[in-house]
């Protein structure tokens, strides 16, 4: 197996940190409710059980936040000075695992078209 050089690790760290910051900014901009006049707002107003949509929104937000915690934990393990973190805390976050599926599930709850052609 080829060893990853420090340039690759630095690039990965920067990309993950940027991704985390961008998702955080996007989430903060959205607030706790769908934007007025958006597709989500229209569906919430016309759906027979609007409380189910709000519940789904809340669960998706929680799952995405959980994924963000795993990203920051992983970045800490590849940033000097490295912090010791239990191996089971963040190693699954970068692999197809329940943690990765939580983020994907959360994102799909909010935007079902993700990953579709």
Distance CA 49, CA 27 (A): 24
pLDDT of residue 85: 66
Q: What is the pLDDT of residue 103?
A: 60
DSSP, res 94: G
Buried b (16+ CB within 10 A) or exposed e, 12-39: ebeebeeebeebeeeeeeeeeebeeeee
Q: Which residues of the chain have pLDDT under 50?
A: 91-97, 99
pLDDT at 92: 46
Looking at residue 94, its pLDDT comes to 46
The reported pTM is 0.58
């Amino acid at each position: 197996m080829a060893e990853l050089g420090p340039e690759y690790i630095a690039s990965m760290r920067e990309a993950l940190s940027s991704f985390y910051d961008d998702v955080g900014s996007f989430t903060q901009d959205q607030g706790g409710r769908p934007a007025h006049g958006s597709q989500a707002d229209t569906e919430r107003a016309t759906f027979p059980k609007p409380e189910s949509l709000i519940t789904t929104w809340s669960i998706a937000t929680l799952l995405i936040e959980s994924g963000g915690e795993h990203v920051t934990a992983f970045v800490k393990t590849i940033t000097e000075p490295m912090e010791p973190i239990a191996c089971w805390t963040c190693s699954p976050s970068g692999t197809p695992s329940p943690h990765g599926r939580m983020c994907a599930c959360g994102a799909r709850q909010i935007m079902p078209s993700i990953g579709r052609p």
